[in-house]
Amino acid sequence: MSGELSSLQATFRSAMAGVCTPVSVVTTVEDGRPHGTTVSAFTSLSMAPPMVLVSLDAGSDLLRMVRRTGTFGINVLSSGQSELAIRFAKKGPDKFASVDWSSHHGSARLTGSATWVACSVAEVVAGGDHLILLGDVVAVDTAPAEPLTYHGRTFGTHLRHAEAA
């Protein structure tokens, strides 16, 4: 059975690499100090009321902090921010060293992000080895920048498709 599960997990991982996702850094500020991690599992959930969902590893330090603070921010990175995506995907306490950010609504807003969404935690739902944060949107801002995307295990961006004549 475990061989079947490993095969399914490998096939699933490969299939999900073919799904284009926005690259986002989820953040919170606890005791005046920013914390964050790179995620690809983020999407809008509801327009009335405005809500989003984001998935964090059940053992994540950031998840524990978000649960304590009750707030989180989502920074959808712009196409020129792949170095930030890599930095925040790694473990370690100094992810914000030399990073330009500001504190808003209990989260760290990264300068240059294509989109920023501040949320209060509405609910936490179990989902396998991750927990899903449902967030009530309390503030949002966008910039005129192409988003950073992840597809086929590489970074890229969205290009407008030529319209049919």
Q: What is the pLDDT of residues 133-146, one digit of tens each?
A: 999 999 999 988 88
Mean pLDDT, to the nearest integer, of 3-16? 77
Query: Vertex 9, ends 41 and 4: CA angle to 5°?
Result: 160
Q: What residues contact residue 69 under an 8 Å CB cut-off, 6+ apart?
A: 28, 29, 30, 106
Model confidence at 164: pLDDT above 60: no
Nearest C-alpha neighbor of 28 from the set 124, 110, 125, 87? 110
**Torsions phi, psi of 47, nearest 5?**
-100, -25
Q: What is the DSSP letter of 92?
A: S
Highest-pLDDT range among 17-26, 113-122, 151-160? 113-122
Strand partners, 118: 73, 139
Token pair recorded at residue 160 = 């407008």
Is the CB of residue 105 less than 8 Å from the CB of residue 137? no
Does the predicted model carry a pTM greater than 0.95? no
Q: What is the model's pLDDT at position 1?
A: 52
Helix (H) or strand (E) run with residue 119 in it: strand 115-127
Q: What residues contact residue 55 under an 8 Å CB cut-off, 6+ apart?
A: 39, 41, 42, 127, 130, 131, 132, 133
Indicate the CATH number of 22-148 among 2.30.30.40, 2.30.110.10, 3.90.1720.10, 3.30.465.10: 2.30.110.10
